[in-house]
A and B are shown apart, each in its own frame.
Chain A
Amino acid sequence: MSTAPSASQQTKKSGKTLSKYKIVFLGEQGVGKTSLITRFMYDTFDDHYQATIGIDFLSKTMYLDDKTIRLQLWDTAGQERFRSLIPSYIRDSRVAIVVYDITKKKSFDFIDKWIEDVKNERGEENVILCIVGNKNDLTDERQVTIEEGQEKAKKLGAKIFMETSTKAGYNVKNLFKKIAKSLPEFQDSNSNIINETTGAASKTNNNAAGSNDTSKAGVIDISTADQQEQSTCQC
């Protein structure tokens, strides 16, 4: 699998590198793409829904296993009228995160379309596909089971499947940690990471959010030991 970043995106010098990876968030309107990014970036959650207009951009530096990577997060609008823009952003994305709402079957059904769009743009090989079932805290309203999600991820060739709760702060940092470890930057030392990440989300109920988050401004250190993510809820 040729997922090596382009020369313009990665610069190597004396062992330490800073690579930039473009991650695009896809999914139907209201599934929680923006809140997933907000939880990852600022560890906050806003109950008030506000639709994204066009495409939003945020970047974050991650420090993991003595390597620094910069994630560029492209948050797309789920509204129909902005759909035409999205392929242009998938075009040069390294990672595509397709988000669905576990309480809305329709949003789950549309995953196929999103994955198809990604494959059309990036091909089968050149992108890391992630499927994320959000709103995991709303168990009473669940319409899509974890097994269904896993099955779909397997069927569509997604390397990472995970259920998250942006409201409860569950599994969010773990998701990004797994994404980071799936990147070519970490492939040499973490060859088994893909197999691990395709496992059941319920079993990977861990969190990389540690108290070390604040040790370096603008950098998330996710090299700390995993812990229960629910405990980090700041809602």
Chain B
Amino acid sequence: MEFIDYQDFSVADTIASETPTGDSLPEPMQRLNLSTYTGNPSVSSMDTNFKLPDIISSDSKFANVTLYDKMSQYAAISIKALNSNDNEGKVTQDIGHDNLTKIPTTKNHDSNKIVRDLNNMVSRSSVDLKSLDTKNLVLSKKLSKILNDYNSSNYKSTIELKRNLKFLEENKSNILLDKEKLISSEYTGTLSRKTLRSDIENEVLKEHIKVLEEFRPIIRRMKRFSGPLDKIRDESRFILSETEDQSQGKNRNIRLLNTIDSLRNDMELIKLKKKLLLAIKEKFTLNQVEDDIIINGKINNEYFDVLNKVIKINEHATYLLALPQDKAGGALIEKVNRYNGIISKKIFNYLMDFIYNFESNEWSTFDRQYENVYNTKTFHRALVYLSNDLEFFQEFINKVTSVRSKSFLDKFLSQFDINKKKNNDIKPIVLSAHDPIRYISDLLASIHSLIANEADFVKSLFKFQYEEFENTPKSILQENQAEFLNGLDIKLLNDIVQSISNTCRIRIEQIIRFEESDTINFEIVQLLELYHLMFVKKGITKENELIKNLDSLKKTSNKKIKVCFTKFLTDNIKSIQYGENSDLLQPDWLSEYLNKLVEFFELYERRKGPSSFEPDIDDQFSSDEGNSTLDKKMLDTVAKEPFLVTLIKQLNDAFPQARKNEHTKLSLLTVEINCFDLIKTRLQPFKNTILKPHNDQESIFDLVNDKLKDFVSQMKEIQSKFLFESTGLGMYNNLFNMIFPIDSIQDELDYDMYLSLNENPLMSLSTINENVHEKLNEYIPQAMTDIQEKLLFKLTSPSIADEISENCFQKLSKFYDVFQKILIHLNPENEQHVLEILNFTSIEFHTLLGLE
């Protein structure tokens, strides 16, 4: 068996020798597993019994001389040759013959050469032997005989023998042959010759064993290849037979090769698939540990890491949906959504626990200790993650709003609790009968304080929107709905604060409803305005119910101010009667009302400050119509209508005969002037502030002033009329003015305009003398006294009285002067007579009337 293996190895070596590194032993080859290949159905499962492949016999090229072949042959020959040497002639011949028959014919040439060489060697030996001792001659002869016993039958064996001997000769140093001893004719010679064979055999065997030992591992390896090689051989045979058998063998072969290619491609595809699936598994699935963390884990950084993976899976899953077959993506998203649901619920519960704990412990803000119990960073991070789930996030916001709103309201209401713990040194807010302003002020200040605290809390709660956490993907809300998150703290604060809006409104409203004072109502308005401003500054939006309620309360209070004034008028304006001896003073209510109004205006100015009446502020003032205390409507109600409508009507009613009777009219005008002069005087300080004109409209003050001027003008007319009538010049004044207005006369030439009067009988000097002279002389000296002490005495304003009297006298004086000159112009021949009728010179007339 071992020998067969040896042959087998020699074949392998032959193949190996054809490689560039022919001397090296063949490297063990990777096992080619063809167990799955069933190209040849006849090939059964691998034979476990080792069989050397019969390659040599099937392929002529393996018959070529190789090292191993030579070795095997030489070994065999040498052994045989030795046997023949050792044995007697016949035996040797037989063996030699037998061996020679086994020697491949292709080696004959070499064998002959060896025999010749051996002969030469022997003949050389024989020559040498002659010089040896005679005792060696016998052996020499014998040997020569043997060697020369040449016949054709043992020729080959002889050649072989020679060759072997030569080989021995060449290797005598290696096998330690003692030549002397060998050729000794003595017993020792005989003995050594007898042992020669065994020695050589031993040596050869040793060498062979050595070589074989070296080959053993190689052979062992080769055995492993035997099975696959068998299979390959069988398959190749099968393929070849198939190829030969089939008429379309070539095509079939190509098909087969294609099949192999396709199988190989399939294999590659499967490998790729495997890789892909592994990658997908890594990217799209959670392992059991992660799964467990999601369901049972605590909310901490580890949990967030898993959560990040889920978010990434979710993101990747969306890409899968874009594939033509979106089933996988759909399924994955469904699974991820399930995870997300669990995560959201878990985070929601964690956050709610956080909030409830916060509430129950009355933590005022996130302080250090609270951070120990509940890591605020974890809380904020959890909040960021929850913001991915809008539904839960909104639910959380609602819960927080609800919890904090309740707490906010409780804190607010506790301020009014008069049964609070005695050790609490803060006084409760109590409504004091004499100080409703303080009550509202305390109430609003406590709200301000609560809002400040709440804003502090909410800001710390939702500062996550401004934070960046490491390894935290920005939540969908943060990325896509920045508007939603931006100002979330403000929104939450507004929602929380809203809870007290009604309570606050009710408490303030009950004060306003029962407050009758316009100034207190105005103080309330001021407070409401200021707190509106401060609440907005704290982040409360104008749309918040609390702010709306403040605005609504402000409006109510403003209305209440209006009501205060209108109610005052309604209660105090009663019909008045002015008797003949009446002082013709303003009605009592007017003074009181003006006092009230001025007091209010003064307070308004003080509270608003001078800057509020500056032009730029004024625009806001007017645009804030309806929301400002003293808007146009309000001013019309409190400062215009009572004077320009109510008062005038009341006075007209008091003097029903004024239209018919000029004396009554005079009284009416006196009262009116007195009233409007008072109004004007009292409103004068507010001319450029509260009562300044808006939008190019005439201001109330101007209207009052115009009205006063109108009354004064009317008074002037009537007084002049009375004056002219008293002096008898009234008729002539009318006459002259009818022809050409006296006031239009500029020089003496204009006197000609009146020449036509010569024909008028009234213009005769005697008539004039009768109508004017006496009256003039009687009245003029007392005119000033009469006017000032009787007619204008009841005017409370001396300046107005002076103005009227002066105006009348000037008019009279001017007419007197013109009248005198025109009469002289019309009657130049009777100038002296004219001067007698109108006996006062202009200077005298002026002096008598007190004109300068």
Q: Is there a chain B Cβ closer than 8 Å to A155's Cβ?
A: no
The segment from B377-385, B436-444, B498-506, B584-592 that touches chain A is B436-444
**Cβ of B445 and Cβ of A88 under 8 Å apart?**
yes
Contacts of B533 in A (CB 8 A): 53-54
Contacts of B448 in A (CB 8 A): 55, 57
Name the prevailing secondary structure of the B interface residues: helix
Q: Is there a chain A Cβ closer than 8 Å to B90's Cβ?
A: no
Contacts of B426 in A (CB 8 A): 6, 91-92
How many angstroms from the CA of A82 to the CA of B527 in the assembled complex? 9
**Cβ of A57 and Cβ of B361 under 8 Å apart?**
no
Given A18-B364, A18-B367, A84-B437, residue A126 in contact with residue B442 (CB < 8 A): no
Contacts of B444 in A (CB 8 A): 88
Given A14-B369, A85-B530, residue A20 in contact with residue B425 (CB < 8 A): no
What are some 11 contacts across the A-B interface (CB < 8 A)? A6-B421, A8-B411, A14-B369, A18-B369, A18-B370, A20-B364, A57-B538, A68-B368, A81-B607, A84-B527, A88-B446
CB-contacts of B423-460 with A (<8 A): 423-427, 437-438, 441-442, 444-446, 448-449, 452-453, 456
Distance to closest chain B CB from A184 (angstroms) = 12
Given A54-B534, A88-B444, residue A16 in contact with residue B423 (CB < 8 A): no
**Cβ of A88 and Cβ of B438 under 8 Å apart?**
yes
Q: Is there a chain B Cβ closer than 8 Å to A33's Cβ?
A: no
B residues within 8 Å of A by Cβ?
361-365, 367-370, 411, 414, 421, 423-427, 437-438, 441-442, 444-446, 448-449, 452-453, 456, 523, 527, 530-531, 533-534, 538, 606-607, 609
Contacts of B607 in A (CB 8 A): 81
Given A11-B361, A87-B438, residue A2 in contact with residue B427 (CB < 8 A): no
Contacts of B411 in A (CB 8 A): 8
Q: Is there a chain B Cβ closer than 8 Å to A113's Cβ?
A: no
Distance to closest chain A CB from B364 (angstroms) = 5
Apart from A54-B530, A87-B441, what 19 extra A-B contacts exist at CB < 8 Å?
A6-B426, A7-B421, A18-B363, A18-B364, A18-B367, A18-B369, A20-B364, A54-B534, A55-B448, A55-B534, A61-B365, A61-B367, A68-B367, A81-B606, A85-B530, A88-B441, A88-B442, A89-B449, A126-B425
**Cβ of A70 and Cβ of B365 under 8 Å apart?**
yes
Contacts of B606 in A (CB 8 A): 81
Q: Is there a chain B Cβ closer than 8 Å to A59's Cβ?
A: yes
Name the prevailing secondary structure of the A interface residues: mixed
**Cβ of B452 and Cβ of A72 under 8 Å apart?**
yes
Give B529's nearest chain A residue, CB to CB.
A54
Q: Is there a chain B Cβ closer than 8 Å to A13's Cβ?
A: yes
Given A2-B423, A6-B424, A87-B441, residue A57 in contact with residue B452 (CB < 8 A): yes
**Cβ of B538 and Cβ of A13 under 8 Å apart?**
no
Contacts of B364 in A (CB 8 A): 9, 11, 18, 20, 70
Give B411's nearest chain A residue, CB to CB.
A8
Contacts of B421 in A (CB 8 A): 6-7
Distance to closest chain A CB from B404 (angstroms) = 15
**Cβ of A4 and Cβ of B534 under 8 Å apart?**
no
How many angstroms from the CA of A109 to the CA of B367 in the assembled complex? 41
Q: Is there a chain B Cβ closer than 8 Å to A123's Cβ?
A: yes
A-B interface pairs (CB < 8 A), number: 93
Contacts of A61 in B (CB 8 A): 365, 367
**Cβ of B452 and Cβ of A59 under 8 Å apart?**
yes
How many angstroms from the CA of A88 to the CA of B449 in the assembled complex? 10
Distance to closest chain B CB from A128 (angstroms) = 12
Q: Is there a chain B Cβ closer than 8 Å to A135's Cβ?
A: no
Contacts of B538 in A (CB 8 A): 57
**Cβ of B441 and Cβ of A2 under 8 Å apart?**
no
Which of A2, A11, A89 is the one whose CB lies under 8 Å from B363?
A: A11
Contacts of A22 in B (CB 8 A): 449
Q: Is there a chain B Cβ closer than 8 Å to A122's Cβ?
A: yes
Contacts of A70 in B (CB 8 A): 364-365, 367
Interface mask (A45-84 → B, CB under 8 Å = 1, otherwise 0)? 0000000011101010100000010101000000001101
Given A6-B426, A54-B534, A87-B441, residue A92 in contact with residue B449 (CB < 8 A): yes
Distance to closest chain A CB from B563 (angstroms) = 23
Give A81's nearest chain B residue, CB to CB.
B607
Contacts of A8 in B (CB 8 A): 362, 411, 414
Give A11's nearest chain B residue, CB to CB.
B362
Give A22's nearest chain B residue, CB to CB.
B449
**Cβ of B423 and Cβ of A4 under 8 Å apart?**
yes
**Cβ of B427 and Cβ of A91 under 8 Å apart?**
yes
Interface mask (A81-104 → B, CB under 8 Å = 1, otherwise 0)? 110110111011000000000000
Contacts of B534 in A (CB 8 A): 53-55
Given A11-B363, A16-B368, A16-B369, residue A84 in contact with residue B425 (CB < 8 A): no
How many angstroms from the CA of A84 to the CA of B534 in the assembled complex? 15
How many angstroms from the CA of A85 to the CA of B426 in the assembled complex? 17
Contacts of B438 in A (CB 8 A): 87-88
**Cβ of A2 and Cβ of B425 under 8 Å apart?**
yes
Interface mask (A1-44 → B, CB under 8 Å = 1, otherwise 0)? 01010111101011011101010000000000000000000000
**Cβ of B530 and Cβ of A82 under 8 Å apart?**
yes
Contacts of A87 in B (CB 8 A): 438, 441
**Cβ of B368 and Cβ of A123 under 8 Å apart?**
no
How many angstroms from the CA of A55 to the CA of B533 in the assembled complex? 10
Which of B367, B423, B425, B456 is the one whose CB lies under 8 Å from A123?
A: B425
Distance to closest chain A CB from B290 (angstroms) = 34
Contacts of B368 in A (CB 8 A): 16, 18, 68
Contacts of A54 in B (CB 8 A): 530-531, 533-534
Distance to closest chain A CB from B524 (angstroms) = 11
Distance to closest chain B CB from A113 (angstroms) = 17
Contacts of A2 in B (CB 8 A): 423, 425
Contacts of A126 in B (CB 8 A): 425
How many angstroms from the CA of A14 to the CA of B369 in the assembled complex? 9
Contacts of B452 in A (CB 8 A): 57, 59, 72
Distance to closest chain B CB from A23 (angstroms) = 12
CB-contacts of A125-162 with B (<8 A): 126
How many angstroms from the CA of A108 to the CA of B606 in the assembled complex? 25
How many angstroms from the CA of A228 to the CA of B434 in the assembled complex? 52
How many angstroms from the CA of A125 to the CA of B845 in the assembled complex? 85
**Cβ of B425 and Cβ of A122 under 8 Å apart?**
yes
Closest 5 CB pairs of A and B: A88-B445, A18-B367, A126-B425, A57-B452, A92-B426
Which of B367, B369, B445, B530 is the one whose CB lies under 8 Å from A89?
A: B445
How many angstroms from the CA of A118 to the CA of B133 in the assembled complex? 155
Distance to closest chain A CB from B811 (angstroms) = 53
Distance to closest chain A CB from B135 (angstroms) = 120
How many angstroms from the CA of A88 to the CA of B444 in the assembled complex? 9
**Cβ of B367 and Cβ of A13 under 8 Å apart?**
no
Contacts of B424 in A (CB 8 A): 6-7
Contacts of A92 in B (CB 8 A): 426, 446, 449
Q: Which of B363, B364, B427, B607 has the most CB of A within 10 A?
A: B364
Give A53's nearest chain B residue, CB to CB.
B533
Contacts of B453 in A (CB 8 A): 20, 72
Give A4's nearest chain B residue, CB to CB.
B423
How many angstroms from the CA of A112 to the CA of B369 in the assembled complex? 41
Contacts of A55 in B (CB 8 A): 445, 448, 534
